[in-house]
Structure 1
Amino acid sequence: MKNVHATTKEILSRHPKINFLVMSPGYMTLKGRDETEEAIDHKLALNHYARWTFANGLPPALKRAKEDGEDVKVCSVLGAGKGGEIDVEDLGLKKSFSVAKAALASIS
């Protein structure tokens, strides 16, 4: 996740305005829970948290484009039309991890 934060800062430093943000990172493995150094499963980190971090970190550049009257769009693509239930008491799936649950939760 630290790479996502660094990349977000780098994008903002190079691009004062962003018109179109398309996010389509994805990662799938049959390996069980595999944690990042932040204790987040790699699949959830890339498929869900990284997208959210980009979408949350880049609005200043998106707003600048909008303020200049330019078209602005954000699109996130992963498993269109699919998804699963989310256990709000176990968002990181530390209590009930399975590859299938991680895949469905990261899409939702």
Structure 2
Amino acid sequence: MKTLNDYQGAEGIDKLLECAPYINELISDKETMQNIEEKSWIQLGGELYKAHTETCNALFRALDHEPENAISAISATAQVMAELLTNKDLIDFFISLRKEKSKM
């Protein structure tokens, strides 16, 4: 699966903006994101996928990824979250988009 960092230039900008509503829904899930430091990436991926199945599937479509089974879907969700939460520039980008949208 391509990561968000794999997209460059204008294509990268378009891809980040396409993924923004899905990612913002996931990172806005206060219940699941609570005590995140106590969870493994797979546990976080499973909880988010279970709570936001349609959103995760839409995100996978945007990233041109089609999980073959439940393990693949959980793993892909965990991969996206790990990329987001370990890349300050990336998470700041999505948080700033969310703040800008709420001001409109």
- Is the shorter-chain TM-score for this pair beyond 0.5, marking a shared fold? no
- Computing the radius of gyration from Cα coordinates, the structure with the larger value is 1
Instruction: Name the TM tier (shorter chain).
Output: 0.3 to 0.5
Higher helix share: 2
